[in-house]
Chain A
């Protein structure tokens, strides 16, 4: 039975999320009316803060499906009760990310054009199909998980969802990986890197959502044994992501033509090196690893802190990856020093504007609202464990 205070808390959170979303929609409208001139983006840094939030949400969306996949595909029954929330979060995060991406378009009202004109050589066009497909698969998956009579379909649909999300994140990474001309991207390792990042970011978001929603609903927190497994899993995913990031940079450092770019991103190109090392590596990866592995820090609070840091580290990583990657001058004339009125040979500045930040936060708010409302409307949260009485000892 829901208490009055729980009901009040739900409506208060709904109102707060709605207010952030309303402000974000206002910011998007302002940018559309005035054009992108009122943002920090320009002809050199063409993707800015909205893309940082959008890519974070889309990558985390695919990773949020982890828990459901572990239950349905890999048969780990302890995870199964949490599968519906895992699927709901995927839908919520994906919707939030796509909202930001669409509202940042130069012509957002032409979404129907994007839906009716496909260039199948474009990984962007493929991604539109992959994103919409994931919505459809998640809807079926959720149905199979929640409707007892369809339970037998949960495994095959779960398998399809697992394969689909791996392909989808490969597609998201390839948006950058296929950019042949840019020093920061153009690498096959970006696709597996994005998959590793998605595993970590998605599980961190899942943990935060699960503990928050369970608390709101007055349910017991995740049982201790499963909590310990989730902690280890999150740590492994954070290490896997670090590994791929290291491989990407080390490969670049081996190539003479990429050394200048690496020096810029890792050493000299403020603010990107600080964001990379302090933001992503230390606060977003190493500190969470300590929080997750240290035996004295096994509380749910430590896991929550680690999850928050992983998510913040994700934003720092993406800011460096997306904005820093564009800020470094494109090498059109190898062996020459270049100068022009169009930023040739020069590091480009980018100062994110308030409307961009608000739009990005609006994406988070949209995801939050969908998860909050979905968890209330559907029986999403794991039921409390029924204690089975031990047989009485024989007298």
Chain B
């Protein structure tokens, strides 16, 4: 074999190895973490959801809130006009005095009232259950905020600063938790879930409610969980344990 052919062979070998190394994790992710390829439509076979175990949620802990603010470029201030996509709510049972702390965010309802009332269709639900606002067609009427049973939505009251490239925001539009759709579509997990786990609480489980073998499905089968305002039959994607 002449030296030129040998170098050529080595070059092709190395190129194939590099290409393989680059593609393989992607294939693995698509296969095992249910990520979707860019351009691939969202599948209705998946329904993303969350289980929040209030018995593990620590009072005073704000790791999930801070992580959400960092990930989505939110200011993190709590004036009445500031956006809060996720908030910690402290509850006290009026009869027994039992105290519970839990995060409340968009419940990603199967029958979302915000989507029903939106005049332009800017509020919409993806096939995989994630409820979003199209920032290009939201006219800022705030009817969705009137309709949301969970106060999950915020209106951008002033010019935004420090935006994240993955999360467009804009003055005059309504916004809410996206379930970190920009991460989920790449096989990732919402930031609040990661932050809760990193803090050692493991109070939030994220996964596919339609997959019987997912951890969230197993947990929901094993323990009693509740949906907020279940009387409204909005069939929330976020469920609570210990409430």
What chain A residues lie within 8 Å of B88 (beta carbons)?
A: 340-341
User: Could you say which residues of chain A place their CB within 8 Å of the CB of B148?
Assistant: 181
B145 touches A46 (CB 8 A): yes
Taken together as a complex, chains A and B put the C-alpha atoms of A378 and B184 apart, in Å, by 63
A333 vs B90: C-alpha distance when bound (angstroms)? 11
**Bound CA span A105–B122, Å:** 14
Q: Is A222 an interface residue (CB 8 A)?
A: no
B156 engages A35 (CB within 8 Å): yes
B138 lies within 8 A of A107 (CB): yes
Q: Which of B93, B142, B171 contacts A335 (CB 8 A)?
A: B93
Interface size class of A (residues with CB under 8 A): 35 or more
Among residues of A, the one whose C-beta sits closest to the C-beta of B77 is A341
Point out the residue from A34, A111, A123, A336 that lies within 8 Å of B117, measured CB to CB. A123
**Is B73 in contact with chain A by the CB < 8 A criterion?**
no
Instruction: Write the chain A residue with the least CB distance to B147.
Output: A179
C-beta contact mask, A322-354 vs B, less than 8 Å → 1, else 0? 000010001011011111111110001100000
Asked if A36 and B155 make an inter-chain contact with CB atoms under 8 angstroms apart, the answer reads: yes
Q: Are B119 and A125 in contact (CB under 8 A)?
A: yes
Does A3 make an interface contact (CB < 8 A)? no
Q: Is A180 an interface residue (CB 8 A)?
A: yes
B120: A residues at CB distance < 8 A: 113-114, 117-119, 125
Q: Are A122 and B81 in contact (CB under 8 A)?
A: no
Across-interface contacts of A330 in B (CB, < 8 A): 149, 151
The verdict on A333 contacting B228 (CB below 8 Å), with A118-B120, A181-B113 known, is yes
List, in ascending order, chain A residues with CB within 8 A of B84's CB: 43, 341-342
**Are A107 and B118 in contact, CB atoms less than 8 angstroms apart?**
no
Q: In the bound complex, do residue A43 and residue B81 qualify as a contact, i.e. CB atoms below 8 Å apart?
A: yes
**B9 an interface residue at 8 Å Cβ cutoff?**
no
CB distance from A321 to the nearest CB of B (A): 13
In the bound assembly, the distance between CA atoms of A343 and B118 in angstroms comes to 24
CB-CB < 8 A to A342: which residues of B?
78, 84, 87, 89, 151
The answer to whether A106 touches B172, judged by C-beta atoms less than 8 angstroms apart, is yes
A46 to B237 Cα, complex, angstroms: 25
Residue B168 lies at the interface, judged by CB distance under 8 Å to chain A: no
From residue A338, how far is it (CB to closest CB) to chain B in Å? 5
> Quick one: closest B residue to A117, CB to CB?
B120
A182 to chain B, nearest CB (A): 7
**Cβ-defined partner of A122 (8 Å) among B82, B93, B116:** B116
CB contact under 8 A between A340 and B89, given known A123-B117, A124-B117: yes
Residues in B whose Cβ lies below 8 Å from that of A160? none
Q: Chain B: interface residue count, which band?
A: 35 or more
Whether B151 and A105, one on each chain, are in contact in the complex, defined by CB atoms closer than 8 angstroms, is no
Known: A35-B157, A179-B147. A344 touches B80 (CB 8 A): no
C-alpha spacing A46/B121, complex, angstroms: 19
Chain B CB within 8 A of A10 CB: no
Tell me the nearest residue of chain B to A185, going by C-beta. B146
The answer to whether A47 has its CB under 8 Å from any CB of chain B is yes
Expressed in whole angstroms, the Cα–Cα distance for A356 and B142 within the complex equals 16
Chain A residues whose CB sits within 8 angstroms of the CB of B158 once the complex forms: 34-37
**A132 partner residues in chain B, CB cutoff 8 A:** none
Question: Does A258 belong to the interface (CB within 8 Å)?
Answer: no
Closest beta carbon of chain A to B2's beta carbon, Å? 67
Query: A111 touching B104 by the CB < 8 A rule?
Result: no
Which among A106, A175, A181 is the interface contact of B139 at CB below 8 angstroms? Answer: A106
> Are the C-beta atoms of A326 and B116 separated by less than 8 Å?
no
Q: Are the C-beta atoms of B94 and A337 separated by less than 8 Å?
A: yes
B159 at the interface (CB under 8 A from A): yes
Whether B146 contacts A339 by the Cβ 8 Å rule is no
Residues of A within 8 A of B95 (CB): 335
Instruction: Tell whether A35 pairs with B147 under 8 Å between CB atoms, given A181-B232, A332-B104.
Output: no
> In the complex, what distance in Å separates the CA atom of A119 from the CA atom of B148?
17
A110 within 8 A of partner (CB) = yes
B155 touches A46 (CB 8 A): yes
With a cutoff of 8 Å between Cβ atoms, the chain A residues found around residue B35 in the complex are none
Interface-centre pick from B137, B146, B173 (highest chain A CB count, 10 A): B146
Chain B residues with Cβ below 8 Å from A42 are: 79-81, 157
> Does B26 interact with chain A (Cβ within 8 Å)?
no
Q: A122 touching B139 by the CB < 8 A rule? A: no
Q: With A118-B120, A336-B91 given, name 16 new contacts (CB 8 A).
A: A36-B157, A37-B157, A42-B79, A43-B83, A44-B151, A105-B139, A106-B172, A113-B139, A117-B120, A121-B116, A181-B113, A326-B146, A330-B151, A333-B228, A344-B87, A348-B80
Q: Which 5 A-B pairs have the closest CB atoms?
A: A106-B140, A106-B172, A181-B149, A42-B80, A124-B119
**A residues in contact (CB < 8 Å) with B:** 32, 34-37, 42-44, 46-47, 105-108, 110-111, 113-114, 117-119, 121-125, 128, 175, 178-182, 326, 330, 332-333, 335-344, 348-349
**24 contacts across the A-B interface (CB closer than 8 A):** A37-B81, A42-B79, A42-B81, A42-B157, A43-B80, A43-B145, A44-B80, A46-B145, A46-B146, A106-B142, A106-B173, A107-B140, A107-B172, A110-B137, A110-B139, A117-B119, A117-B121, A121-B115, A122-B119, A124-B119, A326-B146, A339-B89, A344-B104, A349-B80
The chain B residues found within 8 Å of chain A, CB to CB, are 78-84, 87-95, 100, 104, 113, 115-122, 136-143, 145-151, 153-159, 171-174, 228-229, 232
